[in-house]
Amino acid sequence: MDTQKSKYKMNIQIKRIYDPVAPSDGKRILVDRLWPRGIKKEDAQLDLWAKEITPSNALRKWYHEDMTERWDEFQQRYLLELAEFQPQLEEYRQLAQQGTMTLLTAAKNQTHNHVIVLQDILQGRIKIKP
């Protein structure tokens, strides 16, 4: 089987942590550095909390100051940070190949957030340069 093609067939979904848990979620992985407000840990039904592959506090704060204007640069800075976590990213890719994975976030903006970048990386649509 062609490894490159299998990356694109991975079922990696994105969902807000506040949405109801569903059987179709598969592995539920929180990809926020901070614990989401108002969610009890037992209610989240997480399989993993992947803090290490989230944007640094400095990058997160910088981006939130002007999310519209800083989106393009945020993506580039986030990719640079993720370059240091290649082994962890590979572990998540392998996990995604085993079945459905849902990346969970508290982010309100569903079109411009780090989870979209992370999904593209895990599915092989974006390559990180070492």
Q: What is the pLDDT of residue 125?
A: 87
User: Residue 19, SS3?
Assistant: coil
Q: What is the pLDDT of residue 20?
A: 95
Surface-to-core class of residue 58, CB atoms within 10 Å of its CB (0-12 exposed, 13-18 middle, 19+ buried): exposed
How many C-beta neighbours within 10 Å does residue 55 have?
23
Q: What is the pLDDT of residue 26?
A: 96
Q: How far apart are the first and last CA of the chain?
A: 26
Question: How many residues comprise the chain?
Answer: 130
Instruction: State the residue for tokens 């240091």.
Output: 84
Cβ 50 vs Cβ 14: under 8 Å:
no
pLDDT tens digit string along 43-60?
999 999 999 999 999 999
Question: Rounded mean pLDDT of the chain?
Answer: 91
